[in-house]
A and B are shown apart, each in its own frame.
Chain A
């Protein structure tokens, strides 16, 4: 115990752990490993590649048989169509992207603001039936969303939250708070409580101790958790399609799905919209990739 606390203190949480990861990756892979990983990568990434190709092909190349992999004319028309409306002005899709940004951003911010202090409290204080409470919180994530979509639809109808961005924000927050609490509790547990004890003896209040001394050490964890929450809200489809109907409220996933189903399907537009939709998630994941791995493997790796 004494040793582990000491290690934690001397190493300092939130320290850069790249050296160890670099050691694990890159050099020293066998030929077989490389071959298997290449096959896996091709299989996994082919749909993504096809999506990107389709988004920059002209319509006749999209339908070409045999399929054209390389020798097609590149066009950005589909991307223009994603953002610009047919009669000038903004397209319905671009509005739905904006809706997605608002809904995902606000619900993630809310979940973080609510979940981080809760995680801190669960980590630091003796709460009655703490384990049961935490299990209950987690259990809300056990069922698939589609199970509760009908009761929520009925409740939302009473409250006037159907086809309302606030409705989506609330439901996404409700789904993200348990996740935030669980993931952040792991990060808070890793920060020795003694920093706060020391700060309180220095003369700070408990909240000041949290705010000034623990919170800065939690920022990487908060970033990782928020990205996960953001990705969940950004990708969410079931609630979005059930609870929204008008173009002005709809988020991107049901809006993109709505492009499919007419008499003719503009695959180029679907692919371009999908690329635009996927980009923010990729960018965010790339920005916090170091912490994502830390978050995913939290508890599994003894630092």
Chain B
């Protein structure tokens, strides 16, 4: 068993409202990612679950039992800190053994568990070193081992990959998914990296300014963003948003363009809307019917693709194109839109329009 549920968490630091009614439900055995920009309250949420943060309001339930008043030790959780927080005077072995020593395991049990963890994480040769003698990636693995050496209710991970270089980060992403699969257990994983969230999570909760914006599978969050902000935060390059309104069977842009109205939208005429278009749902043509007229603004060649910035009136569209695409700035272009994959948001509230017909 290992369910984690938080309800109505509120916490302020001085004038900053870090958590503003956060409610989450982490199913047993899931890899649950809390995604958000820095300052969204992700870490505070995790620390609240761990019992390290005194809450203004709200409750934490572990395995269905109210654990709000429990000490961190009594909650039976393990945590990986962003800074790793390895004990500096102790060897890797002692660091990994620490949770077992605290629970008064016999030294033979400890030796067996540390050995098992170190082979799982390939850190056998590091065991006698101190943190100061390790690289960031090595410390990260030792910190993981210290968390994983026990079988707690849940594993909490606070941006564990943020301080690693890119190559290592990609490697560890796969590694963590592998560990989750082989060990099982409930993972609550905090990150500001949407790629981590989309690639590792069973479920994602998107957090902004202490409020949960959306909870769902990675596909749901990506394909059906609950609001304009989630749409903009998840996905790279960022989704392009164009002001428009519905008129009859057409969408009329503030910049003068028109597109056929998507069949699935129920928006009433004249209501100010935002049309959200992801780069991969657009293509650059030099003519077309379901297309937006614009000017080439700039190119970002990324190797496997080229991101084309197209200026439509005063607004900017990011379009994914073939890596061989070339053009000169100022050149007239048409951007073809896959309207079945477009998103519409209310321009006032930012909420996604009902897509029941889709």
Chain A residues proximal to chain B, CB less than 8 Å = 2, 5-6, 8-15, 126, 192, 194-195, 197-206, 208, 213, 216-217
Chain B contacts for A204, CB-based, 8 A: 73, 102
- Residue pairs across A and B with Cβ atoms less than 8 A apart, 30 shown, are A2-B162, A5-B82, A9-B83, A9-B139, A10-B131, A10-B132, A10-B136, A11-B132, A12-B88, A12-B131, A13-B88, A14-B88, A194-B83, A195-B85, A197-B50, A197-B52, A197-B72, A198-B81, A198-B98, A200-B71, A201-B50, A201-B73, A201-B77, A201-B78, A201-B79, A202-B73, A203-B103, A204-B73, A204-B102, A206-B71
Min Cβ gap B346→A in Å is 36
Closest residue of chain A to B132, judged by CB?
A: A12
Q: Name the prevailing secondary structure of the A interface residues.
A: helix
The answer, among A198, A205, A208, for a CB contact under 8 Å with B87, is: A198
Whether B345 sits at the interface, judged by CB under 8 Å, is: no
Chain A contacts for B99, CB-based, 8 A: 201-203
Chain B contacts for A206, CB-based, 8 A: 71
Alpha-carbon separation in the docked complex, A60 to B54 (Å): 74
Closest residue of chain B to A125, judged by CB?
A: B54
Min Cβ gap A245→B in Å is 49
B72 and A195 form a contact (CB under 8 A): no
Given contacts A192-B83, A198-B81, A199-B98, contact A9 B52 (CB under 8 A): no
Alpha-carbon separation in the docked complex, A202 to B130 (Å): 18
List B275-317 residues whose CB lies under 8 Å from chain A: none
Alpha-carbon separation in the docked complex, A198 to B157 (Å): 12
Alpha-carbon separation in the docked complex, A14 to B79 (Å): 25
Chain B contacts for A2, CB-based, 8 A: 82-83, 162-163
The answer, among A9, A14, A217, for a CB contact under 8 Å with B86, is: A9
Whether B84 sits at the interface, judged by CB under 8 Å, is: yes
Min Cβ gap A18→B in Å is 15
Q: 1/0 contact trace for B45-74 toward A, CB 8 Å?
A: 001001110100000000000000001110
Chain B contacts for A13, CB-based, 8 A: 88
List B97-140 residues whose CB lies under 8 Å from chain A: 98-99, 101-103, 130-132, 136, 139
Alpha-carbon separation in the docked complex, A8 to B47 (Å): 20
Alpha-carbon separation in the docked complex, A219 to B163 (Å): 29
Chain B contacts for A213, CB-based, 8 A: 87
A15 and B132 form a contact (CB under 8 A): yes
Alpha-carbon separation in the docked complex, A205 to B139 (Å): 24
A9 and B84 form a contact (CB under 8 A): yes
Chain A contacts for B181, CB-based, 8 A: none
Most buried by A among B78, B79, B87: B87
Chain A contacts for B139, CB-based, 8 A: 9-10
Closest residue of chain A to B74, judged by CB?
A: A203
Alpha-carbon separation in the docked complex, A205 to B132 (Å): 26
A192 and B73 form a contact (CB under 8 A): no
List B226-273 residues whose CB lies under 8 Å from chain A: none
Whether B178 sits at the interface, judged by CB under 8 Å, is: no
B82 and A192 form a contact (CB under 8 A): no
Closest residue of chain B to A1, judged by CB?
A: B38
The answer, among B73, B83, B88, for a CB contact under 8 Å with A200, is: B73
Beyond the given pairs A12-B88, A197-B50, A205-B71, 9 more chain A to chain B contacts, judged by CB atoms under 8 angstroms and listed by A's residue number, are A10-B131, A10-B139, A194-B81, A194-B85, A199-B87, A200-B73, A201-B52, A201-B73, A216-B89
Min Cβ gap B218→A in Å is 25
Chain A contacts for B72, CB-based, 8 A: 197, 200-201
Closest residue of chain A to B83, judged by CB?
A: A5
Closest residue of chain A to B104, judged by CB?
A: A203
Min Cβ gap B151→A in Å is 13
